[in-house]
Amino acid sequence: MSGFSIDKRQARRTFARAADTYDAAAVLQHEIADRMLERLDYVRLQPGRILDIGCGTGRASEALLRRYPKAEVVALDFSLPMLEHARRRGRWLRRPRCLCGDMDQLPLGAQSFELVFSSAAIQWSADPAAALAEMHRVLRPGGLLMFSSFGPDTLHELRAAWAAVDGAPHVHPFIDMHDYGDMLVGAGFADPVMDVERLTLTYSNTDALMRDLKAIGANNAASDRMRRLTGRARLRALTDAYERFRDSSGRLPASYEVVYGHAWGAEQRREAGGVLVSPDSIKRR
């Protein structure tokens, strides 16, 4: 991540444009969210207020409403067009409360939620350590943070193919699982647990892959990205470079390293020289 920074305006624009196409193309993102929701089966927690950070079109927010019928669900995203879809989730008098905001500076009060849920969103933070600190701030003592993101091996085929074409950044430099664990500890969370799995999507050609990435809003949002349009010659060179990854079944793979994390909110009191965490404030499984 050294030297990398996200152009938040660009990221917001691409997600706004993708709001109407996202759900049809976000097969992997939906699968990740479903796997996270299944993990809640093993947690003894009945939250009264839930925050879904980076909610997108609100699919997971709706699932959380069904799972916890007495809870209030706040769906937060930095894209208003995405929230237009999210606010229609659920049913009359039982819909998520939608809030447009930035995960790096949550417009919410401290210790407001018993569950903070964020599926495949934190990679769009300009400062992931600050985002996790904000999640800790709004989480009540004994509450649960559950999140997912992508690790460094994500889209390694596409990264290698672009590297053969030019030296510009085209693929997000995702954060390692262990670095996320360190950030959780630094933010003050208790009992952080990280794990990873690898999933692969396959495509008939690079055009199909690029269409899917555009449809979910996963365009290049690096601050130092190339600002000119990608010409036909460079796209042809990308296609040729990607061909070396074609598998025995004739398909082109797109690999994803999916990182999962959860941790518990801990009561903190500051004293000279550090932060003390009360063990009695930690609600465990």
Q: Which of 93, 33, 32, 22 is nearest to 63 (CA)?
A: 33
Domain topology for 8-152+173-202+256-281: Rossmann fold (3.40.50)
Question: What is the per-residue pLDDT across 65-92, written as a single tens digit (0 to 9) for each?
Answer: 999 999 999 999 999 999 999 999 999 8
- In which residue are the tokens 């996200």 written? 6
Partners of 201 in the beta sheet?
254
What is the pLDDT confidence band of residue 223, given thresholds at 50, 70 and 90? low
Taking the mean position of all CA atoms in its chain, how far away is CA 150?
8
pTM here is 0.89
If one compares 272 and 173, the residue with the highest pLDDT of the two is: 173
Domain range annotation of the chain: 8-152+173-202+256-281
Please say whether the beta carbons of 40 and 146 come within 8 A: yes
Give the separation between CA 99 and CA 229, rounded to whole angstroms. 33
Question: What is the per-residue pLDDT across 230-245, written as a single tens digit (0 to 9) for each?
Answer: 678 889 999 999 999 9
Give the separation between CA 206 and CA 261, rounded to whole angstroms. 31
Taking the mean position of all CA atoms in its chain, how far away is CA 29?
9
Average pLDDT over residues 41-67: 97
Give the pLDDT confidence score for residue 28 in this predicted structure. Answer: 97
